[in-house]
Amino acid sequence: MPKDESCLSPVETGFDGIGLYPGLLDGPAQRALMAELMAALETERPYRPHMPRTGKPWSIHQMNFGDLGWVSRPDGYAYSSTNPVNTRKWPAIPPALLALWDLVGHYPAPPECCLVNLYDTPKSRMGLHRDEDEAALDAPVVSLSLGDTCVFRVGGFARGDKSRSFRLASGDVLVIGGPSRLRYHGVDRVIFGSSRLVPGGGRINLTLRRVTKPA
């Protein structure tokens, strides 16, 4: 990863406020982070969330790092300082991810949540939704993709608005902010077997978010 941002600027995605840094993490950086993740996942087992109210299981597994983890509960989505399955506090956000936030986030406070989404089967996907559970909507969302390439979809501000898809590959970083922060988005599908980074295959997405407004 570059040490400063003098040589760093995102590729335009066609959406105002959504910047893409293709391959910002090179192979060695991806493998180092994967090793750190694998170690963390030994003690913090990813779990399968269920949709609020319907109780339908998601097609992915999740866990969090940070002071506040994003969780799906029977009565809705929320941020929680503890893991609903093991009742313990979430592990700290790995330093490499805090450095990534500093590099591309351009926000005066650190992230409080790193949601880890594990797309671990060929059927894993994420339906169109908006990220609207954060009070700090002025902060960007920083997303890192690892492993298999996915087909990612971005739409408008209402569910039926026209949308466009593009691919996110391993090492790609997406920064979503400003006028696009509340756009609908989702993961149509994962191109299973397109990368060898994740043992057993699949895609891992790490999403850094500021939840509360800084004091």
Stretch that binds ligand MD3, among 2-10, 48-56, 100-108, 182-190 (CB under 6 A): 182-190
185 or 210: CB nearest ligand MD3: 185
C-alpha–C-alpha distance, residues 87 and 99, integer Å = 28
104 or 187: CB nearest ligand MD3: 187
DSSP 66-122: SSSEEEEETTEEEEESB-TTT-SBPPPPPHHHHHHHHHHT--SS--SEEEEEEE-ST
In the list 125, 185, 189, 210, the residue contacting ligand MD3 (rule: CB under 6 A) is: 185
C-alpha–C-alpha distance, residues 59 and 210, integer Å = 25
Binding mask 131-170 for Fe ion (x = CB under 5 A): x---------------------------------------
C-alpha–C-alpha distance, residues 157 and 140, integer Å = 17
- Which of ligand MD3, Fe ion, none lies near 189, with the C-beta cut-off 5 to 8 A by kind? none
Task: Number of residues interacting with ligand MD3: please give it, by CB under 6 A.
Answer: 15
